Structure formats: C-alpha cells, structure tokens
Amino acid sequence: MQRLRALGWSARLDEAFGPHRAAGLEPARVALEHTHIYRVMFPAGEGLARVSGRLRHAALSRRDYPAVGDWVGIKPTAHAGRWSIHAVLPRTSQFVRKVAGNRTEEQVVAANVDTVFLVAGLDGDFNPRRLERYLILAWESGAHPVVLLNKADVIDDVDPVLKETASVAPGVPVHAMSMKTGLGLDALTPYLTPGRTLAFLGSSGVGKSSIINRLVGQELLKTRDVRASDSRGRHTTTHRELVAIPGGALVIDTPGMREIQLWDVGDGLSEVFDDVHSLAAGCRFRDCGHRAEPGCAVRQAVEEGILDAGRLGNYLKLQDEIRATEARTDQWAQLEAKRLGKIGSKAAKKIYKDRGR
C-alpha cells in the first residue's frame, strides 16, 4: 500500500477499485504508453501490459483506452512479466485533445494530473494568444494551471511580461524562471509534494524537458538547442511518460504539440475569457456574436481600450475553431452510424441466409 500511495493512490481510488479487486484484479498506474504497449507500476514493481480483448471491444473511442497517469486493473498473463489491462478507473482529470491530422477523434494525452505547468519561453516564443489556448485546455482538463515563463535571463525586465501574463490568466499563478541560471526554480517547491502528479505543456523549444531534468536531478529527457532565427526547436520528447522526482512528486512529460486543436472545451473557454463573457451581458442582443451586431458591449469595450482587440480576435477565432470541430464531429458520427448500420444489415442477412440452408 505504501508503494501505491507513493504513486498517488488515495482512499477515493481504493473505494472505487473495490469491485475490480473482488474480480481478482490488481491496481496499477500507467507510466508509459508506446504504440499500444504500456508500462505499468504496481506494489511489487513494474511490467509491460496490453489492453485485454474485452476492454478493447467495449471501448467506444480512443478516450476509453488507458493513458499515461491512469489507474488500471491488471492481471498477469501466461508470459512472465507481462500483464493485461482489464479496467480503467474513473479519472479525476484528463487532458484531451483532437488527434493530429484530419481525423475527428479525441485523445487523452494525460490523466489524473493535479497541476498543469504551462511553459512559455521568453526568447521569442512568448505569445499571449497561444497561452490563452493552453489555458483553455488546462482548465478543461480538471487540473490546476500554473504558468512558467522560462528563459527569463534573455530579457532585461521581466515585469511587463509578468503583468501581461497576469491579465491573460487572472487568478493563475505565474512564475518567471531560467534553467540556465537556476532563477525561480524554488518557486516550484510548493507543488512538489509526495504523490502529486504534474504535467508540463508548451510548444517545442520552451524548455519543458530541461525543467524536468533539473527537478529529477539527471539528464532523464533529451534536450536540443533551439534555432536562433525563430527560437523554435525540434520536439525532444516523442512519448508520454510518468516519472518520480526527488521529494515524492510525479511528473508526466508530453510531446510538444504541433497541432493544438480544441476539443469539447466549452467550460474552459468560459473560464479563460470570463472578461469577454461578463462584458457580453451588456450587449443589446442575447445571441450577439460580437462581430458586426449593433449595440455590442464587447466591441465597445475594445473601442474604449477596456478590452484588448487581440484578445477579442482570438476569442472569436477559437469559437470558430470549436464550432468547426463540432460540425466535423457530427458529420463523422453520422457516417460512423451509417457504416455500423450497413455492417449490422449484412450480418443479419447472413444469419437469415444461413438459417435458410
């Protein structure tokens, strides 16, 4: 039990696992996911696991499959050191995004995260509009966001950036730091409590892996230099992994996201753009789109300098993106239902044909 608590096990999880324990399953936590093979950690150690056929059959989408950070119920297989995953416990939080490319499907990137560190670099990467996008994803996950402004050593005065970040992320802790000099690293100490799970999100080259390496105390994750021309770097992490750090906290490193496409983030959008929603209460029309409607209190706030024009522009852009994703989702659902209907029809015809023989 002590090993489980070190991995983040709680009384709530113990109660939820009761039926699975009665079915002969053992609790474990997913530490690594790689091409449908998982490394799981449990009281006696760790091993490799695959999803059982029954769980795979019951999964309605990729969201139902285990993700790094998940608590699962496992059983040993006939192969030594190999396990099968038969159950996934309910998640306290989950970071969900649309899978890369044109497929309209959801993917859980990390599960049961307590604190999400949103990392931005001050060497040219800092972009308030991108930060708003990450904040939406963080709030929607159910975890608590914290903004880390890395590479503070490259600018003379960090205070204006801190102020701008606070205006974009009201109520969210913001810390300036530098992995090169060690500046601000102690600000992370309150978050590094035993059994607490952390995740680092941000674009490539902002220093996520460097921060994790410093916390772990060794070169656990590979890092690469960024290009001087645009402060961008190649993605140094190619898979998601849960690792323990000195002091007892756990951290999930996630690949830099080439395509950050929003998925089912209505609550997150409202949380991040609470100022826009508050101003919208003064619009003449209840369904005001804040674009060209008369009596729009939001556009009036922009004209009066109360609301930043770029912030409103990003809000409208994100709204359009969410609507487009919803439309594609509905279309995909209709096509999938049609496909399944054809399969069912063919199966029924075969049964009747076989019976008639």
Query: Global pTM?
Result: 0.75
Two structure tokens written together for 142: 């159910």
DSSP secondary structure string, 70-130? -EEEEEE-SSTTEEEEEEEPPPS-EEEEEPSSS---EEEEEES-SEEEEEEETTTT--HHH
Quick count: other Cβ atoms within 10 Å of Cβ 198? 25
Across the strands, what pairs with 275? none
For 63-118, the pLDDT digits (tens) are 899 999 999 999 999 888 799 999 999 999 998 876 655 556 677 888 999 999 99
The pLDDT confidence band at residue 23, using thresholds 50, 70 and 90, is: very high
Q: What is the DSSP string of 198-209?
A: EEEE--TTSSHH
Q: How confident is the model at residue 348 (pLDDT cuts 50, 70, 90)?
A: low
CA neighbor of 203 nearest in space, from 175, 184, 231, 170: 231
pLDDT digits (tens, 9 = 90+) for 28-64: 999 998 878 999 999 989 999 999 999 999 988 888 9
Question: Which element (helix H / strand E) includes 300?
Answer: helix 297-303
Bridge partners of 101, per DSSP, are none
Which domains are delineated in the chain? 2-88 (2.40.50.140), 94-253 (3.40.50.300), 273-357 (1.10.40.50)
Q: Are 240 and 33 in contact (CB under 8 A)?
A: yes
